């Protein structure tokens, strides 16, 4: 077998350009641009389960939903700034369990800080329908234990979804020009 050698002559390579960082314009940390101004207040009516609706003139600061495909239970959250500086929070709990109906809350707070504190302390599992009757003596203890375990898993998933949605909504509220924590 014969060995063949090749000699390849390459043209002289041009000098490398100056480093990329020097070639780019200087980047300055500039403050982010302000969000567009909020629209004027509008008439809003919030449902309240077991009570009169809350009627007000307000601006919607942010809203969100923890619904996902196949969800057995989820929440909707809306945060408003009222005309005179107060804040309102609306929470609607949905549960597809037999006999369950949406449960609606609407609360008013003197400032955004108090509204945020209430939302962060809200228990998303409070309105879940328990899928079994604790007083039913015909249900075996083992079946009740299985139902309770399934309920706990459902409650934990609902809580995780609520927390994810809450983080998104609070981030949107924080981005609003009027969202200083009074």
The pLDDT tens digits for 86-110 are: 999 999 999 887 778 889 999 999 9
Average pLDDT of the chain, as a whole number:
81
Q: How confident is the model at residue 14 (pLDDT cuts 50, 70, 90)?
A: low
- All structural domains of the chain with their residue ranges: 39-174
Question: In this predicted structure, what is the pLDDT of residue 179?
Answer: 53
Enumerate helices (H) and strands (E) in the chain, giving the number of each.
3, 5
Is the per-residue pLDDT at 17 higher than 60? no
Torsion angle of alpha carbons 133, 137, 139, 140, nearest 10°? 130
The pLDDT tens digits for 113-158 are: 999 999 999 999 988 877 777 788 888 888 888 888 888 888 899 9
């Amino acid at each position: 077998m014969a060995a063949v050698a090749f000699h390849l002559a390459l043209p002289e390579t041009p000098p490398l350009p100056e480093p990329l960082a020097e070639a780019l314009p200087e980047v300055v940390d500039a403050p982010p641009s302000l969000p567009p101004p909020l629209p004027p207040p509008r008439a809003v009516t919030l449902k309240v389960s077991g009570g009169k609706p809350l009627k007000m003139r307000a601006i919607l600061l942010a809203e969100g939903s923890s619904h996902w495909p196949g969800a057995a239970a989820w929440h909707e959250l809306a945060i408003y700034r009222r005309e005179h500086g107060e804040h309102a929070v609306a929470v609607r709990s949905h549960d597809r369990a037999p006999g369950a109906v949406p449960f609606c809350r609407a609360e008013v707070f003197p400032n955004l800080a108090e509204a945020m504190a209430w939302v962060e302390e809200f228990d998303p599992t409070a309105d879940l329908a328990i899928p079994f009757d604790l007083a039913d003596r015909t249900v075996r203890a083992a079946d009740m234990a299985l139902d309770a375990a399934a309920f706990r898993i459902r409650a934990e998933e609902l809580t995780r979804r609520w927390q994810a949605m809450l983080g998104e909504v609070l981030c949107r509220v924080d981005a609003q020009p009027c969202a200083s924590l009074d």
